[in-house]
């Protein structure tokens, strides 16, 4: 389930520091790759893998330069009879710079996702059991942490354990609006589709490329307070991460369709169709009406993340159980995916699971929070 950030502006397509030139350039690149994905999907996938490998290559560049320049300095000093001072100084300069950057990369530790809401209720043992059951069924990576946010999201976040993103910590991020507004079946289905998407058997089918969309962004986010020598890494990934996110958008949409298919291993097609319909209608409502209203309230009343989450929960729950839901389902059904959208359109998702029209259960009783959040104390 894609993330709708409640507590801060929605759909920041690019970094505010990127500049207009970068937005226009990345947009052109994204359109070309989207065209490639539609006409030659296999070639597109290979191209994205090649571009993704550039991130790894850049992180390994400086350690390799340390080895090469160290050897060059040693050879220059060994042949002192033909020693060229200018050449030696250049070699020493490259060695020092690459060593400093390498040291800053080795020291890098990306931040893990954190809870952004103050809870009076803890996750119940039933939630952990449900997660373990789904992980076992789909043969996914073990969930190391569960955190709660004020956003409308249910996601799995991979955080590199080391400076090179080879081994990762896995965090399940659950938005309180999802837990409190979705029925038990809808929440279970949403959780199953996300864990199924991260199955080990899907890693090389596109899921690794999907994971790297967030991972590469972490290397530029650490530039808020960069250590000495980290600036080149921050500069590179501030551009590279933005380019990668836009060219890998078709991969992300394909992954969301695959997640819907994974959910059908454990749930009926009616359950999955119900989830898709409610999710897409809520996304459209949040983006067009709810979020702008909440942002105005945040600016005027200085609401905390907890206050925003509480207000959002109330509005979404009212929407799901009101006649207005039909209006937002219809509106979501007419929307097409935009260039940077990670979610396919409602029509594409419905067709992907073998249906022609969206459908949802009316007055679905209960809330997942009543089962999966333990009572205080």
24 contact partners, CB below 8 Å, separation of at least 6: none
In a domain, 14, yes or no: no
Q: Check residue 119 and give its pLDDT.
A: 62
Distance CA 182, CA 364 (A): 9
Q: Check residue 30 and give its pLDDT.
A: 83
In a domain, 74, yes or no: yes
Domain count, the chain: 1
Q: Are 44 and 37 in contact (CB under 8 A)?
A: yes
DSSP reduced 3-state for 144: coil
In a domain, 280, yes or no: yes
Transcribe 42-78 into DSSP letters: HHHHHHHHHHHHHHHHHHHHHHHHHHHHHHHHHHHHH
Transcribe 205-256 into DSSP letters: GTHHHHHHHHHHHHHHHGGGSPPTT-HHHHHHHHHHHHHHHHHTHHHHHHHH
Q: Check residue 354 and give its pLDDT.
A: 94
pLDDT tens, position by position, 9-58: 333 333 333 445 456 777 788 888 989 998 999 999 999 999 999 999 99
In a domain, 194, yes or no: yes
- Whole-prediction pTM: 0.85
Nearest to 249 by CA among 27, 88, 96, 59: 27
Give the mean pLDDT per block of 10 residues along the chain (377 residues).
Answer: 46 40 72 90 95 96 95 83 78 93 89 77 88 96 91 92 90 91 94 94 87 92 66 92 93 95 96 96 88 74 67 82 89 82 92 94 84 71
In a domain, 300, yes or no: yes
The angle that helices 231-247 and 41-78 make with each other, rounded to 10 degrees, is 160
Domain interval for residue 230: 1-6+20-377
Q: How does DSSP classify residue 80? A: G
Q: Check residue 304 and give its pLDDT.
A: 67
pLDDT tens, position by position, 239-274: 999 999 999 999 999 999 999 999 999 999 999 999
Q: Check residue 198 and give its pLDDT.
A: 94
Is the backbone of residue 114 left (phi > 0), alpha (psi -120 to 50) or beta? Answer: beta
Q: How far is CA 171 from the centre of its chain?
A: 11
With residue 154 as reference, give the H or E element that holds it.
strand 154-160
DSSP reduced 3-state for 175: strand
Distance CA 132, CA 199 (A): 13
Distance CA 246, CA 51 (A): 12
Q: Are 312 and 150 in contact (CB under 8 A)?
A: yes
Q: Check residue 12 and give its pLDDT.
A: 36
In a domain, 61, yes or no: yes
Distance CA 39, CA 33 (A): 10
In a domain, 15, yes or no: no
In a domain, 11, yes or no: no
């Amino acid at each position: 389930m894609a993330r709708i950030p409640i507590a801060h502006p929605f759909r920041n397509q690019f970094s505010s520091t990127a500049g207009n030139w970068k937005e226009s350039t990345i947009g052109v690149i994204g359109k070309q790759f989207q065209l490639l994905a539609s006409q030659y999907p296999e070639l597109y996938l290979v191209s994205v893998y090649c571009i993704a490998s550039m991130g790894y290559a850049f992180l390994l560049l400086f350690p390799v330069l340390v080895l090469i320049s160290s050897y060059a300095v040693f050879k220059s000093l060994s042949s002192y009879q033909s020693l060229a001072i200018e050449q030696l100084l250049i070699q020493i300069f490259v060695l020092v710079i690459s060593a400093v950057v390498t040291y800053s990369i080795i020291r890098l530790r990306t931040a893990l996702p954190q809870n952004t809401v103050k809870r009076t209720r803890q996750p119940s043992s039933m939630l952990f059991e449900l997660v373990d059951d789904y992980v076992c069924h789909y043969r996914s990576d073990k969930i190391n942490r569960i955190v709660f946010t004020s956003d409308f999201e249910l996601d799995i976040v991979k955080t590199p354990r080391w400076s090179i993103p080879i081994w990762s910590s896995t965090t399940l991020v659950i938005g309180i609006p999802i837990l409190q507004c979705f029925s038990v079946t809808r929440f279970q289905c949403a959780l199953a589709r996300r864990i199924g998407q991260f199955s080990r058997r899907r890693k090389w089918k596109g899921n690794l490329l999907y994971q790297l969309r967030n991972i590469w962004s972490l290397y530029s986010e650490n530039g808020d307070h960069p250590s000495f020598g980290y600036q080149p890494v921050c500069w590179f990934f501030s551009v590279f991460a933005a380019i990668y996110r836009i060219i890998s958008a078709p991969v992300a949409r394909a992954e969301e369709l695959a997640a819907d298919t994974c959910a059908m291993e454990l749930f009926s097609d009616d359950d999955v169709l119900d989830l898709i319909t409610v999710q897409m209608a809520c996304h459209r409502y949040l983006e067009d009406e709810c979020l702008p209203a909440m942002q105005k309230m945040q600016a005027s009343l200085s609401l905390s993340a907890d206050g925003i989450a509480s207000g959002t929960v109330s509005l979404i729950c009212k929407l799901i159980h009101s006649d207005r839901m039909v209006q937002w389902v219809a509106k979501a059904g007419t929307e097409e995916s935009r260039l940077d959208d990670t979610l396919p359109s409602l029509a594409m998702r419905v067709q992907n699971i073998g249906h022609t029209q969206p459908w949802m259960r009316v007055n679905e009783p209960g809330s997942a929070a009543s089962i999966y959040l333990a009572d205080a104390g």
